[in-house]
């Protein structure tokens, strides 16, 4: 991905999240100097396996596992400091030295306990099937201009009356929602007082840190969370998360200009999954779909919920290529398809009997489309040991060629297992 002219690259999910970005970022981070998380919060769960050890990181970029990489939690992220500290403790326990390698933006918004109460009490959140981590309410406060930012921890005396007003407001909302849960000012203050001494030493003007790295030609990876179809603008609204997961969000959420970015890699599973509610046109709600779930271990990294599974949807990925300006694709979990005799691919949609070439804006229409399938022959051989394209069975190569053709972006990486070394660079 990186070369002399391509030093600042975005990695985004090109479906509904859980595409395996964690592993890709982990592999690419080996060649990077800096990895930046630019949006989302503890709703994301990046699973990375190194040797016998598995790490699930929600707030910290997975680049932290590489000793030379500096990791940034950007201004676009909503930060849950307790989750951050839990992850730091886990890293320390497993012998990862992160001192001086983690910078948290002082412009990032804090997820307070009342945001989680609001998320969990909200009927709307339940309809959407959110992770209940307070993500939506924190972004609502950010855009409502009543958020609490990391920088606000520098003056706790000034923060107390602000927090008093926010807690009172949250309690009024909880009452309106018919919830009996209530937030308490003293408990919130105790929380921020506990966070402050550990968090503030990690904070800085992170955009400036990233800017300097880019200017010096350092290799910078901007890591998106969730997937393009969960983007608040471009996703299957309202069944989306509350941030811009697509590549445009990378500049805003990292604090640099769009002209600093040289390439965008879209991560796609060789099939499709989704957690939470909302349309999923190529969903296979049948024994084949259950087989995908079992073989792919498709259970949410954050909530443990079974993921909905289905076939590769080229209309979705073509759309993701367009809205992200993808310059390459990384196809993950190809090995999950190893035992299937045939592999359907959704090439287009039909809506009420007519061709539908683009993703409809209305979620109801997307719920009604019928995918058109092309059935490709399976390869029925293990791909787990392939390290070059030439090692793959010919049917698997044809499958990848077809995905590339239908999606409109070149395949640059193929992942054939959870381990770091199980990757093919094209």
Tell me the window of 206-214, 222-230, 321-329, 361-369 that interacts with ligand IMP (CB under 6 A).
Answer: 222-230
338 is catalytic: no
Minimum distance from residue 57 beta carbon to ligand IMP (Å): 11
Cross-strand pairs, 343: 376
Contact between residue 297 and residue 269 where contact means Cβ atoms under 8 Å apart: no
Contacts of ligand IMP in 178-207 (CB under 6 A): none
Minimum distance from residue 213 beta carbon to ligand IMP (Å): 26
220-223 sheet: strands from edge to edge: 203-204, 102-105, 70-73, 34-37, 220-223, 8-13, 263-269, 328-332, 411-415, 423-425
Q: Which is nearer to ligand IMP, 279 or 325 (CB)?
A: 279
Write the DSSP string, 265-327.
EEEEESSEEE-SSS--TTB--SHHHHHHHHHHT-B-TTT-PBPEEE-EEHHHHHHHHHHHT-S
**131 contributes a contact to ligand IMP by CB under 6 A:** yes
Tell me the window of 142-150, 193-201, 223-231, 250-258 that interacts with ligand IMP (CB under 6 A).
Answer: 223-231
| 173 class by beta-carbon count within 10 Å (0-12 exposed, 13-18 middle, 19+ buried) | middle
How does strand 308-310 pair with strand 272-274?
A: antiparallel
Residue of the chain from 10, 14, 108, 135 that contacts ligand IMP (CB under 6 A): 135
Tell me the window of 125-133, 140-148, 176-184, 204-212 that interacts with ligand IMP (CB under 6 A).
Answer: 125-133
Which position among 26, 33, 46, 313 bears the catalytic label? 46
* Cα torsion through 222, 228, 232, 237, rounded to 10: -170
**70 contributes a contact to ligand IMP by CB under 6 A:** no
Contacts of ligand IMP in 228-247 (CB under 6 A): 230, 239, 241-242
**138 contributes a contact to ligand IMP by CB under 6 A:** no
Residue of the chain from 2, 129, 191, 393 that contacts ligand IMP (CB under 6 A): 129
97 is catalytic: no
Query: Distance between CA 35 and CA 13 in Å, rounded?
Result: 16
Site map for ligand IMP, 268-297, x if CB under 6 A?
A: -------xx---------------------
Residue showing the smallest CB distance to ligand IMP in the complex:
276
Both ends of the chain: CA-CA distance in Å?
Answer: 10
**118 contributes a contact to ligand IMP by CB under 6 A:** no
Q: Which is nearer to ligand IMP, 136 or 310 (CB)?
A: 136
**136 contributes a contact to ligand IMP by CB under 6 A:** yes
Residue of the chain from 8, 12, 14, 18 that contacts ligand IMP (CB under 6 A): 18
**43 contributes a contact to ligand IMP by CB under 6 A:** yes
The DSSP element (H or E) to which 221 belongs, if any, is strand 220-223
Provide the 10 A C-beta neighbour count for residue 363: 16
**383 contributes a contact to ligand IMP by CB under 6 A:** no
Q: Which is nearer to ligand IMP, 17 or 289 (CB)?
A: 17
C-alpha distance from residue 358 to each of 123, 225, 268, 363 (Å): 31, 24, 18, 13
Give residue 375's region: left, alpha or beta (phi > 0; psi -120 to 50): beta
Contact between residue 397 and residue 391 where contact means Cβ atoms under 8 Å apart: no
Total binding residues toward ligand IMP, as defined by CB under 6 A: 20
Q: Which is nearer to ligand IMP, 230 or 334 (CB)?
A: 230
| 285 class by beta-carbon count within 10 Å (0-12 exposed, 13-18 middle, 19+ buried) | exposed
**32 contributes a contact to ligand IMP by CB under 6 A:** no
Which is it for the CA torsion 136, 140, 141, 143, positive or negative? positive
- Residues acting as catalytic residues: 18, 46
Residues of this chain that bind ligand IMP (CB under 6 A) = 17-18, 43-45, 128-131, 133, 135-136, 225-226, 230, 239, 241-242, 275-276
């Amino acid at each position: 991905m990186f070369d002399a002219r391509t030093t600042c690259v975005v990695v985004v999910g090109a479906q509904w999240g859980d595409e395996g970005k964690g592993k890709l970022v982990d592999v690419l981070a080996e060649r990077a100097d800096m990895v930046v998380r630019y949006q989302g919060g503890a709703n994301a769960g990046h699973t990375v396996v190194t040797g016998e050890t598995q790490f699930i990181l929600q707030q910290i970029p997975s680049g932290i596992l590489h000793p030379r990489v500096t990791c940034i939690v950007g201004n676009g992220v909503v930060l849950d400091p307790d989750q951050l500290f839990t992850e730091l403790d886990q890293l320390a326990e497993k012998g990862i030295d992160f001192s001086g390698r983690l910078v948290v933006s002082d412009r990032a918004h804090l997820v307070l306990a009342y945001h989680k109460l609001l998320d969990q009490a909200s009927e709307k959140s339940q309809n959407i099937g959110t992770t209940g981590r307070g993500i939506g309410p924190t972004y609502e406060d950010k855009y409502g201009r009543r958020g609490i930012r990391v920088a606000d921890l520098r003056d706790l005396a000034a923060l107390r009356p602000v927090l008093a007003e926010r807690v009172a407001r949250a309690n009024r909302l909880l009452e309106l929602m018919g919830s009996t849960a209530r937030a308490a000012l003293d408990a919130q203050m105790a929380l921020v007082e506990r966070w402050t001494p550990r968090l503030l030493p990690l904070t800085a003007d992170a955009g400036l840190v990233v800017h300097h790295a880019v200017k010096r030609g350092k290799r910078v990876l901007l890591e998106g969370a969730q997937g393009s179809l969960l983007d608040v603008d471009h996703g299957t609204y309202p069944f989306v998360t509350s941030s811009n997961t697509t590549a445009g969000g990378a500049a805003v959420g990292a604090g640099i200009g769009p002209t600093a970015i040289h390439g965008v890699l879209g991560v796609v599973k060789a099939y499709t999954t989704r957690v939470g509610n909302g349309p999923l046109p190529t969903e296979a709600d049948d024994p084949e779909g259950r087989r995908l779930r079992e073989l792919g271990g498709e259970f949410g990294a954050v909530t443990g919920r079974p993921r909905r599974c289905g076939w590769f949807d080229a209309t979705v990925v073509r759309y993701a290529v367009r809205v992200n300006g993808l310059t390459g694709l990384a196809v993950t979990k190809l090995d999950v398809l190893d035992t299937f005799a045939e592999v359907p691919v959704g090439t287009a949609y039909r809506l009420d009997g007519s061709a539908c070439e683009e993703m409809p804006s209305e979620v109801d229409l997307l719920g009604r489309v019928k995918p058109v399938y092309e059935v490709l022959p399976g390869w029925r051989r293990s791909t787990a040991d392939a390290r070059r394209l030439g090692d793959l069975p010919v049917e698997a190569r044809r499958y990848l060629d077809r995905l590339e053709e239908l999606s409109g972006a070149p395949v640059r990486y193929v992942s054939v297992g959870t381990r770091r070394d199980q990757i093919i660079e094209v």
